[in-house]
Structure formats: C-alpha cells, structure tokens
Amino acid sequence: MQHFYFDHNATTPVAPEVLETMASCLGQVYGNASSIHHFGQAAKHKLEAARRQVAALIHASTTEIVFTSGGTEADNLAVFGVVRASGRSRAHVIVSAIEHPAVLASAAQLEREGAVITHVPVGPNGTVDPEQVRRALRPETVLISVMHANNEIGVVQPIAEIARIAHEAGAAMHSDGVQAAGKLAIDVDALGVDLYSMSGHKLYAPKGVGALYLRKGTKLAPLGFGGHHERDRRPGTENVPGIVALGAACELAAKVLAAESERLAGLRDRFEIAVAGRISGTGINGGRANRTPNTSNMYFDGVDGEAMVIALDLRGFAVSTGSACSSGAITPSHVLTALGLPADRARSSLRFSLGRSTAAEQVDALVDALEASVAHLRRISVHA
C-alpha cells in the first residue's frame, strides 16, 4: 500500500539538494568554526555562507542572524532575551491566544518570575485585531509576540500593523515565523519585526537547527553562558552541517517560493471544494482569513479527530489533529477553542498540510479516503 504525506506543518522531508549539501559537509568540513587553523576556517567559511543564504530569504543583514537548535529555542531566546534585557522587574508582555507552546510556555514561565502577561484574543476567523493589541498596551510593555502564520489553521496575522503599534509604544516586536518561512515572501523590514523565529525542519532542512533574526540594536540577554559564539548571543560550538543544510534549504525555498505557493494554493482549494461537495457536516476553520497556501484545517461533525487520524493512516494517508507539539493532549486544541469552536467540534477537526511532494492525484485519493472514513465512523457512532 502506498502512503501519502499530508503533515508537512509537523515536519518536512529533507530535500535531496539539502541532504547532498549536508552529507558533503559532514564528511569533509569537520573543523570547529572557532578554530583559527585551516580546518576551522573552512568550517567558518561554510557557516558564514549559510548565514548569507538564511538572511537573503527574509531580506535581513547577515549580522542579524543567530543560529539556534530550532524554532523553540529561537522563540525562547526572543521572549526571555528581550524581557530580561529590559531590566524591568514587572515587565509586561503581550502574546496572542493562538501562539505556539514555545511562546505560551515561555510567557507562563516569565509570569511565574514576576512579569505580567496579556493574552490577546483572536476573532472567529483566527485573526488578531491590531486595535486589541493597542488597547492591551501598558507603560511597562516591553514585548509583543504574535506569530506570522499559525501552525494549525495557517492563518496569516497582520504583523506589520501590530509592529507599528509596538514601536509607537517603545516595545519590541517578535514574530514566530516557523510556519511562514518558505511559504510566504518575507521582508523583515516591511514587516517591521525586531525578532523573527525560523526552524529548519519546516522548510526541508533537518531537525535540530533554526535561526532567530535579531534586528540590529535590539537588546537581548542570552539564555546560555559559555563561549563568544554567535556574537555573544548564543554560546556553544555551531552545528555547521545543520546550519549549512538550513542555508541550502533557504536558498532553495527562495527559488521555488512563488511557483510552489501558487501550485499548493490550487491543490488546497481543489481539496476543500471537493470535501465540501461530497461530505456533509464539514467546514474550514479559519477559512475566511488569509492563510498559508498549503494548510487546511477542517471539522467533520460527529467524528472524533483522533479516530480519523488512525482511520486515514490505515488507508495510507498521514494527517494530524493539529500541532505535533501537542499530540497526546486530551484537551481540545487551544487554537480552535480560541476561534470560538465548541469542544466537540474542535475535537472533530483535522489538519491537512501539503508540500512539495503533494500531487493532484494524491489530493483526489485523500478525498475518497476521507469520504469513506467519515461515513464509516459516523455509522459506528450512531450504532454505539
């Protein structure tokens, strides 16, 4: 039986070009990038070339890129780093209600340490109202963190407007761009962000590598202590093969972004139209908002989402109920409940995230499998 992958928001396969670049680096560039001899300088050269590739994807300066172990570390470094650098004992931070756990859990820890956190709600379409952010401001506000694109519903937030509000108030603006990088055209100056998080394994690079954009002049306290790596912002010997792979993935993403975004949006629309036409009691979560081109989150009334994931997996289709970071959670998705969905509808929702390997035939086959699975599970629940 063939298996088709519709869970690219959880992780992506490593692109062949990226794998080749990384493998050659693992085999040949084994020096420490901090060493001054030939082998160290060869590693340093690769490291800085990758920094240029990452910076180019988001139109940043190379000195503004800090390499991390992934999106979670980048989010933690941004949130803790700005607040601790502010020196305020009762610093105020604004986050949206639908942030990734990497931001929400960081904010919760800051609250335990004495900071004040405001969670700004989203509307029924999953969008943050910039005016709600403005109303949440306080004289002590040092940071606003709103994700660029949501991992579960794909909704794109009005980051540029929120950033203007942040700067008017003298606060720093952070955006978790993990689900946007490689899917949307990004210009950090146009967005107005001071900090922007990225993760390699969401854009066809391996797991365990990411980056934080840090606008020049933004004050940031480090999370770890040790050597003077990454301009004293993130100590520890750099993961050169992983960073080289991230750089290659960013360069590849820039080349294919426009065409691939258009292709995926077409496939997503084809999928949603077919599901709406063939399966009753369905709807798109966040469907009326601007979304990333590859993401569709749909509810199927009367069906348990986890049961659907298993049923589709048995038919050869990998999908998810939401964030992979929240798998195993028995409570409904905080993102879907923030939209105003009742708990049972949130639990009946599935996320379908398309990628470079997704073809029209796979989408059509998924619709067939969905129709059969929903009918079967609804029949079982009626007779239970």
Query: Rounded to an integer, what distance in angstroms lies between the CA atom of residue 365 and that of residue 356?
Result: 17
Query: Rounded to an integer, what distance in angstroms lies between the CA atom of residue 315 and that of residue 292?
Result: 27
**Which residue is catalytic, options 325, 337, 364, 365?**
325
Query: Rounded to an integer, what distance in angstroms lies between the CA atom of residue 381 and that of residue 376?
Result: 9
DSSP state of 158: -
- Provide the 3-class DSSP secondary structure of residue 275: helix
Long-range Cβ contacts of 309-314 (<8 Å, 24+ apart): 309/350, 311/373, 311/376, 311/377, 312/366, 312/369, 312/370, 312/373
Q: Quote helix, strand, coil % in the chain, to nearest 5.
A: 45, 15, 40
Query: Rounded to an integer, what distance in angstroms lies between the CA atom of residue 154 and that of residue 148?
Result: 9
- Provide the 3-class DSSP secondary structure of residue 143: strand
- The alpha carbon of 57 is separated from its chain's Cα centroid by a whole number of angstroms, namely 15
Q: Is the dihedral of CA 185, 188, 193, 195 positive or negative?
A: positive
325 is catalytic: yes
Closest CA to 208 of 71, 329, 13: 71
Catalytically active residues, by annotation: 325
